[in-house]
Amino acid sequence: MNLDLYKTITMLQAVRKMLPLRKFFTSTFFPGVETFVTEDVLFDYKKGKRPMAPFVAPRVGGITVARDGHKAKKYTAPKIAPQRILTIDDLVTRGMGENVYSQQTPAQRQAQLLGTDLSEMDDMIARRIEWMARELLLGKPILVKGFIDRLDQDYVEDVIDFGFTNKIKLVGDASWKSPNSAGKKFAQLKQWRLEVIKSSGSAPTMAIFGQSAWGDFYSDPEVQKMLNQQNATLALMNPSVVDEALTYCGKLPGLGLELYTYDDWFIDDDNVEQPYIPDNVVILARPSLGRFAFGAVTQLEADGQFHTYQGTRVPKQWADQNADARMIRLTSRPIPIPSDVDGWFVAEVS
């Protein structure tokens, strides 16, 4: 066995430390899954309307009315396809966490590496899907960069855009950082909630705050006054940790809103660490806003034929006998689909 002394001689037992994979946006707001037999995903979505039935004059049978409007869209589902190479060097070098005097054979190590690689690539795909849900929930067009070369320098761009309009940006004196906003924040939440009801017919049940936005809201004099009232019912604050990233902060019974902060980060395509919820953002939403659809994956197999697979993850492996290497790839073609594009509200408050 080839042992890299410089890296391992002082470390008899390594502990693999993987950052936890969280799927708050995906599991909460887009929990449904639908798979297609084609790369193209065709779906309907709507913007809520409230037409009334028309009055009809005497001796007129009736008035023809239009059906509820909806829009149909077709997207070629973007392709996510991380892959890894397995070489002889990987099979004869002690793996991370493996005993220095391990008697594992190359075949055993190959099986272990295969399982590890598939698991880690699946996590990578899940993080990208979580990012897509995050972008949609923030009211942004989802920018898809399809990289062409291995240096990530050449790429083609596509945009997934549902025309989301339920958003506002507070600047100047309207900013929550401004002293002029004191005593107005509760009323603004109420107004934004009404905007969602007006445009979609459904009320949001969750308000998710960035850390700065939560600090501004919680310290607002009007909110503090609500909390200090005897037998207060307008605002109930009893913080509890739901998990390491999600904190339940309290409830506004009069608005039917549970209040949360979400503290988790990701590395974006420019290698910059970003929070999933920006500091100055408040999102009003309800669970199960939509679902994820997955386009089919077509790939060339070892039999020399193209095969199409329907599913959320499609693996592929192939060998380069000249290089004594084996490649493993995991492919997914996800796209988030909101049931109602006006079903939530996004506010930049500072």
- What digits encode the pLDDT tens for the residues 133-189? 999 999 999 988 766 555 556 556 788 888 889 999 999 999 999 999 999 999 999
pTM for the model: 0.80
Q: Is the dihedral of CA 208, 213, 219, 224 positive or negative?
A: negative
Going by C-alpha positions, the residue among 19, 9, 221, 179 that lies closest to residue 101 is 9
Q: Which residues of 90-129 are buried (b: 16+ CB within 10 A; e: fewer)?
A: bbebbbeebeeeeebeeeebeeebbeebbeebbeebbbeb
Q: What is the mean pLDDT of residues 189-211?
A: 94
Burial (Cβ within 10 Å: 0-12, 13-18, ≥19) of residue 42: exposed
Helix (H) or strand (E) holding 92: helix 88-92
What residues pair up with 2 in beta bridges, in sequence order?
A: 93
User: And the tokens for 61?
Assistant: 């049978």
Contact between residue 247 and residue 240 where contact means Cβ atoms under 8 Å apart = yes
Q: Which residues contact 116 (CB under 8 A, 6 or more apart)?
A: none
Residue 211: per-residue pLDDT: 94
Region for residue 282 given its phi and psi (left: phi exceeds 0; alpha: psi -120 to 50; beta: otherwise): beta
- Residue the block writes with tokens 């990530």: 152
- Per-residue pLDDT of 89-123, as tens digits, reads 766 565 545 554 456 666 777 777 777 888 888 88
Going by C-alpha positions, the residue among 186, 257, 176 that lies closest to residue 226 is 186
CA distance 248 to 246: 7
- Per-residue pLDDT of 63-92, as tens digits, reads 444 555 556 667 788 888 888 888 777 665
Going by C-alpha positions, the residue among 320, 329, 334, 335 that lies closest to residue 299 is 329
Residue 4: per-residue pLDDT: 37
CA distance 192 to 347: 9
Q: Which residues contact 311 (CB under 8 A, 6 or more apart)?
A: 35, 294, 297
The shares of helix, strand and coil residues in the chain, as percent rounded to the nearest 5, are 25, 30, 45
- On the CB side of 309, how many CA atoms lie within 13 Å of its CA? 15
Residue 217, pLDDT > 80, answer yes
Residue 136: per-residue pLDDT: 95
Q: What is the mean pLDDT of residues 221-233?
A: 79
Could you tell me the pLDDT band of residue 18, with boundaries at 50, 70 and 90?
very low
- Return the top range by mean pLDDT from 11-20, 242-251, 278-287: 278-287
CA distance 112 to 114: 5
